[in-house]
A = this chain, B = another copy of it.
Amino acid sequence: MTAAPTPVIGGATRVYVLLGDPIAQVRAPGLLNPVLARRGTDAVLVPMHVAPGDVAPVVDGLRRVVNVHGILVTVPHKATALTLADRVTARARLAGSVNALRREPDGSWSADTFDGVGFVRGLVAGGHRPHGLRTCVVGAGGAGSAIAVALLDAGVAGLCLVDTDAGRLDTLRRRLSDAYPGRVDAATRPRLADVDLVVNATPLGLRPDDPLPFPVADLPAHAVVAEIIMSPAETPLLRAARQRQLAGHPGEPMLAQQIDSYLEFFGL
C-alpha cells in the first residue's frame, strides 16, 4: 500500500466521475486518485456504472451538481458523450468520440479525447516514433478512430483502416480522408505485407478463446505490433508477435500516459 492511495474527502472536495459499462475493470481511479492524494489536491475520481440508455439523464444530473467539475467516459459511452457536450475539439469530432468533459467557468461543458494522444505518447515512450511510418489500425470503433487521428496528427506516412463493418469503415475513412488527404486508406481485411506499425484496436484478446485480430505471419520482420488491451498484459496477439520476434507494444502505456492529459485538461 502506498502512503496516500486516495485523497481525503471533505465537503469542499472537487468531484470527478468516470462513466462506463461495465465499470469494475476500470483503472483510471486507481491511477489518478493516488496522484491527487500525493499532491494534496482536494479532488477525487469516482467510478459510475451507467447503462447506455441512461447516459444522457445521468450526465444531465451530474452537470447540475455544483462541485462535479469533470466527467471521464469509457466504453461504450464515448460516442454518446460527444453529443452531450456544448463544445468539442476538432480531433474529438474527427475521432467521433470524447473521453473527458469539463465544466467551464461559465457553466458550459467542453469535451476532448485523449485516447489517441495517450496511445501515441505511450508508443513514443516505448521507443517507437510513428512519424513517417506506414501504419495499419485494425478496428474502426471509438478507440481505433481516436488512435487513427492521433497517428495522422503525429505524421505517419500512411494509415490503413481495417474493420469488418464496411459501413462504419467507410464513414470513418471519408471523415479522415477529408482532414488528411492522400494518407488514408481502408479495407475490410488487413493487408500487412508493407506495414511498419499495426495496432489492434478491436476487443479481440480480452477473452482467452478470442481469435487473433489479424495474422501476425503476414507482417514484415521489422514491424511493430501494438495492443490497446490492458488485461491480460500479454495478449495472445503480443505472444504471437514475440514468438515471431517482432517488436510488441502493450496496452498499459496508453492509459498511463492519459493520466497527465486528464490532470492538465481538468486544471488539477
Contact = CB atoms under 8 A, between A and B. Distances in A.
A67 B45 contact: no
A68 interface: yes
Contact of A30 (B9, B20, B68): B9
A11 B29 CA distance: 7
A29 B59 CA distance: 23
Interface of A: 1, 5-13, 15, 20-21, 23-27, 29-30, 33, 37, 44-51, 54, 57-62, 64-68
A58 B59 CA distance: 9
Number of copies: 2
19 contacts: A6-B7, A6-B9, A9-B29, A9-B44, A9-B46, A10-B29, A10-B30, A11-B47, A12-B23, A12-B24, A13-B29, A15-B46, A15-B47, A50-B64, A54-B65, A57-B60, A58-B62, A58-B65, A59-B61
A47 B42 CA distance: 12
B47 A46 contact: no
Given A6-B8, A29-B11, A61-B61, A67 B44 contact: no
Contact of A67 (B5, B9, B48): B48
A20 B10 CA distance: 13
A76 to B, nearest CB: 14
A37 B5 CA distance: 11
B8 A30 contact: yes
A46 B46 CA distance: 8
A68 B54 CA distance: 13
